[in-house]
């Protein structure tokens, strides 16, 4: 296994901070973690910038807050240069029903902040599964 540089560790720590704050509903931390010139490559038109990403995260956080014990747990996290990749599992329950999803996130970092973002949660199967579960 290759050694992780100081920059790569700092970048992974930024993503871990995002996850830990998301898990407790502290979405306000995003301002400190996202670069002003941020680009969400999977956000729909009008939600691809920093403000749009913040709105997306607030909406998702609000939906997950209706579940009991919902938590995102990183399964794999690694960095190479200015790129960070994470696979996570999100789990919780609602009305006695278990919910679970896996997601993959890829971040390009700049100045220790999220600069570009891609993810797999935008796949229709994930959205359909969540919407059905939330009924």
- Find all residues with CB under 8 Å of 13, minimum gap 6, and list them: none
> Tens digits of per-residue pLDDT, 104-129?
999 999 999 999 999 876 555 555 65
Q: Which residues pair with 101 in a beta bridge?
A: 90
Give the pLDDT confidence score for residue 1 in this predicted structure: 47
> Tens digits of per-residue pLDDT, 36-50?
999 999 888 898 999
Give the pLDDT confidence score for residue 2 in this predicted structure: 67
Q: Tell me the pLDDT band of 101, cut-offs 50, 70 and 90.
A: confident
DSSP 8-state symbol, 120:
S
Domains of the chain: 6-134 (3.10.450.50)
Predicted TM-score (pTM) of the model is: 0.85
DSSP 18-72: HHHHHHTT-GGGHHHHEEEEEEETTSPTT-SSHHHHHHHHHHHHHHHTTSEEEEE
């Amino acid at each position: 296994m290759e050694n992780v540089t100081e920059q790569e560790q700092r970048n992974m720590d930024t993503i871990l901070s995002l996850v830990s704050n998301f898990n407790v509903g502290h979405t306000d931390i995003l301002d400190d973690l996202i670069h002003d010139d941020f680009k969400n490559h999977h956000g729909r038109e009008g939600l691809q910038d920093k403000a749009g990403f913040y709105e997306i995260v607030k909406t998702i956080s609000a939906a997950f807050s209706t579940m009991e014990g919902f938590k995102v747990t990183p399964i794999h996290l690694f960095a190479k240069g200015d790129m960070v990749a994470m696979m996570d599992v999100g789990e919780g329950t609602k009305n006695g029903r278990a919910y679970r999803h896996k997601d993959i996130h890829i971040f390009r970092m700049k100045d220790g902040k999220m600069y570009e973002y891609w993810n797999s949660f935008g796949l229709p199967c994930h959205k359909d599964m969540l919407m059905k579960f939330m009924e």
